[in-house]
Structure 1
Amino acid sequence: MTNLQNDNFLRACLRQPVDHVPIWLMRQAGRYLPEYRATRTRAGDFLTLCTTPELACEVTLQPIDRFPLDAAILFSDILTIPYAMGLGLQFQEGEGPVFERPLRSAADIDALGQPDPETELRFVMDAVRLIRRELRGRVPLIGFAGSPWTLACYMIEGRGSRDFIHIKGLLYSDPALLHQLLRHLALSVTRYLNAQIAAGAQTVMIFDTWGGSLSTPAYAEFSLAYMTEIIAGLKREAEDRTVPVILFTKGGGNWLEAMAASGADVLGLDWTTELDHARRRLGDGIALQGNMDPIALYGSASGVSVEAERVLASHGTGTGHIFNLGHGLTPHTPIENVTALVDSVHRWPHRKA
C-alpha cells in the first residue's frame, strides 16, 4: 500500500505527536458542494450513489480535492446492513430513509439473514478499495457503520423518529427479543467493519446516532454493551499499523467514562459537551474528536474562526484531539466558511508533545 503523506489524523487518534491539530468533518461529502450535487444528479438517486463504487469514490474525494482535510471518510450510509438484509430501504425526498418492511414481530426478526460483506455488501468493499487507490496516500481513509441500537431503531420504526415508540415499546415489553436482534446486528457490524479494514479502511467509526435517546441503564444495556462487543471483535492491525476505532454517541455526554471503557481509541463528542470538561473527566488515556456546532458555520467567516479557536482552546495544546463538528455538515453550509474553518484549525498554535 502507498505510504501516507499526511498521517496526523492517525497519530492523533493514538495520542501521538502531531504537526497540527487534524480536521475532518462529518458529512464532508454532501449537498453543500456543487460537485456533489452534480454527481448526485448523474446518479439519479441517493441509493445508486451509495451502491455504485465509482460514484462513491468520486464523492468521497471531492472534499479532499477542495479542502486540505486530514482524512477522507467513505461515502456510504449507516443503513447498508439492513438494506442488504432485504427490508426494502428507500430514501424519500424530504423524509429520509424509509423501510418498506419494518420489523414488527418475532417472526420478522427470526427471518433476518446475515449479509456477507463480500457478496451482498461487495459494493462497499469495492468502494473502499477504489478510494484507497485513488487517494494515493494523501490522507487516511475512515470506514464506518451504524451502531446496533441505531440500526435497530430504523429497522423497527421503519423511518426516523422523535419518540421511538415501537422500539422502546419492545425494549420495555420484550427485552429478550430486542437483545436477539441487537446480537444479530452486532455480529453483522463486526463482520462489516472487519471487511472494511481488510479492504483498506485505516480507521473505523461507529455512529450511535440514537443512543442519546435512551435512559442511562438502557444505554448501558442496549447500546454500549453491543458497541463494546463489536470493538472487541475487530481486527485492529493492518498494513503494519494499528487501526483506531472512534465511538460516537450523539447526546452521550453523561456517559463519557463508560464509553471510554469500551475499548475505543477516540470518543466523538457533540457540541453539548465541552472538550475541557471531557478531558478533565477522562484524563489523557483516550483521544477526543469534535465538537463545533455545525450551525456555527452559518455565521460570518470571522465568526467561524472565533468559534473554532474557542473549541481548540477548550481542548488545549496536548495530543489526542481531532477537530470535527458535533454532527454532520448541513446542506446549505457556505463553502467559504468551511474553508475558513479548515484554515483556522491548521493555523492553531500546536506544540509537538
Structure 2
Amino acid sequence: MVTINDIARQAGVAKSTVSRYLNNGSVSLATREKLDKIVKETGYTPNTFARSLKATKTNMIGVIIPRLNSASTNEVLSGIDQKARESEYDLIITNSNQDRERELGNIQTLINQKVEGIILLAREITERHRKLINDANIPFLVLGQKAEAIHSMAYSDYEAGYKIGQYAIELGHRDFLFFGVSEQDKAVGLERKNGFLESLKDTTDTTVKIIETSFSKKVAYQDAIDALPNSKASYVVCATDNIAIAVLKAAVELKYSVPEKFSISGFGGYEETDYVQPTITTMSYPYKEMGIQAVENLTKLVNGIDIPYETLLPNELIVKNSTIKR
C-alpha cells in the first residue's frame, strides 16, 4: 500500500508538504503539479478520517526541552515564546529531563494533543525518534543537533571547537586538559571536542588529556578537584560555560591562580561568565535567535512552504580575563 512517505520520497519534498497538498493547503504550483502526477500514477488514496482530524487548526506548537536547569535552553525558549506570541500560537512545553523514554513519550503526547508542529531541543535522534516523527504527519523541527532527512537547526559546534583550539595555540599553549560530556550528545559531546582536536593537528609537541564529565556543575566541580592537581595543562577547555564555572571554582578551592596557573575557556556565552572572577573566555551562541528562527521555520512548514533541511547558526569567540599568552 502506498503511503504519504512514499509520495514524499518520489516527489523529493517533505512529508509535511504532501500533507498540505492533501489538505488543500499552501503548496507551489510546480509542486502541486508534480504531486498530482505521482498521486495519479500510484493510485494513492488518503485516509479521509485522518485528513479531517489534521484539517482542524489548533494554533498550538509543541516544544520538548531536555532539562529545566539550562541557561541555553531558557534563552532558546525566550525566543520561541516571543515569536510564538507574535505569530498567535500557543505553546505546550514538556520536559524530558534527559531521559530518552520520557522524550519519546512527550513526542507521542504532543501528537495526541493535535499540535500543528513540534520543536524538539534534542540530545540525539535515534531510529525510534525517526519512526515517531515519520508517522506523526505534522511538521517537526529538531534544534541543537543535525538530523538527516529531518528539518533541523544547529550551531556550528565543530567550527567553535576549532576556533578555541586555534586561539589557544596562537596564545602559545601546548598542553591541554579538555572537560567534555558524553558523545551521546553529538553537538556538545562530539563535535566541539573533534573540532578542538583537529585544530591541534598541525602543531607539534601538543598534549591533550580528555575527561568526560557531566552538564551538572556539581559533578564537573568534583571531577575538576580530582583532575587538576595531576595536570600539567596550561589551558583548560570546557565543553560548556557551566563546566568552565565549575572548574574555576575548583581552581579557587585548590588555591590555583587563573589564568596565571592555567587559562580556562568555555562554550555558550552565558551571562554568568561575566559575574565570576576572572570573567571567562567563551564561544558565544545566538540562543534566542535560534528560538525566533525556529518558530519562523516551523510556521513555514505548517503552511506548506519548503525550507532547507539543515540550518546552521554561527558562533563568536568572546575573549575575557580567564585566558592569557603562555
TM-score by length of 1: 0.28
When you count strand as a share of all residues, which structure comes out higher?
2
Higher relative contact order (CA 8 A, sep 6+): 1
TM-score (norm 2): 0.29
- Bigger Cα Rg: 2
